[in-house]
Amino acid sequence: MQMIGVKIGDSKVLESRETPDGSMIRRRRVTADGYRFTTYERIEMPPLAVMKRSGNREPFDRDKLHKAVNRSVGKFFNSELEIEDVVNKVVERVYSLGRDVVYSKEIGQAILDVLAKINEVAYVRFASVFLQFKSLDEFERIIREQREKRED
């Protein structure tokens, strides 16, 4: 994506630093006329396919994962960086499986595992949709399980 009237080649890097998790490089840039902007550089991962519940395959899309996490549990986090951290951990976990194809169910489970450690309320909310809760008993069960894990 290119901003109107701005070419990266026409700009100068002011500052360059790694994100805290080491997954990206953040660069602050300035154009000759003084316009400042930020760019992010991320390592391109090998292609990965996702097998959907319907049996259809589609390419793994990190941005789609980010939107899904943000839409479903984004309001339980204080900043975009926290959501990005969740997404980075899920992506790392999915790629660590070492396969060309992963099931959407595995991605959902990876999200659950990450949320369970970071934000219990977001975990319960995501679990209720992902695991398709039909009754209050299922909410009570998962809350009880989380409390037992916390006590261990």
Neighbours of 127 (CB within 10 A): 22
Judgement on whether residues 92 and 131 belong to the same structural domain of the protein:
yes
Judgement on whether residues 5 and 78 belong to the same structural domain of the protein:
no
Instruction: Give the pairing of strands 36-42 and 24-31.
Output: antiparallel
Say which amino acid occupies 27: R
Judgement on whether residues 74 and 35 belong to the same structural domain of the protein:
no
Judgement on whether residues 81 and 50 belong to the same structural domain of the protein:
yes
C-beta separation of 14 from 78 below 8 A? no
User: Domain range holding 1?
Assistant: 1-43
Contacts 24+ apart (CB under 8 A), 61-69: 62/87, 62/91, 65/90, 65/91, 65/107, 69/111
pLDDT band at 2 (very low <50, low <70, confident <90, very high): low
Residue 82, token pair as written in the block = 């926290």
Judgement on whether residues 27 and 57 belong to the same structural domain of the protein:
no
Total domains in the chain come to 2
Q: What is the pLDDT of residue 24?
A: 82
Judgement on whether residues 38 and 78 belong to the same structural domain of the protein:
no
| Range list of H helices, 20-99 | 62-73, 80-96
Judgement on whether residues 82 and 127 belong to the same structural domain of the protein:
yes
Judgement on whether residues 32 and 66 belong to the same structural domain of the protein:
no
Q: What is the pLDDT of residue 37?
A: 87
Judgement on whether residues 50 and 79 belong to the same structural domain of the protein:
yes
Q: Mean pLDDT over residues 98-121, rounded?
A: 94
Question: Which range is least confidently modeled, 70-74, 84-88, 120-124, 148-152?
Answer: 148-152
Judgement on whether residues 61 and 113 belong to the same structural domain of the protein:
yes
CA 19 to chain centre: 14
Judgement on whether residues 35 and 53 belong to the same structural domain of the protein:
no
Which residue in 27, 17, 40, 20 sits closest to 81, CA to CA?
A: 20
Instruction: Give tens-digit pLDDT for 5-42.
Output: 566 667 889 999 987 777 788 899 998 888 888 888 87
Q: How far is it, in rounded angstroms, from Cα 53 to Cα 130? A: 12
Residue 65, token pair as written in the block = 């994962």
Q: What is the pLDDT of residue 66?
A: 95
Judgement on whether residues 73 and 63 belong to the same structural domain of the protein:
yes
Q: What is the pLDDT of residue 47?
A: 87
Instruction: Give tens-digit pLDDT for 41-91.
Output: 877 778 899 999 999 999 999 999 999 999 999 899 998 889 999 999 999
Which residue in 90, 95, 85, 100 sits closest to 65, CA to CA?
A: 90
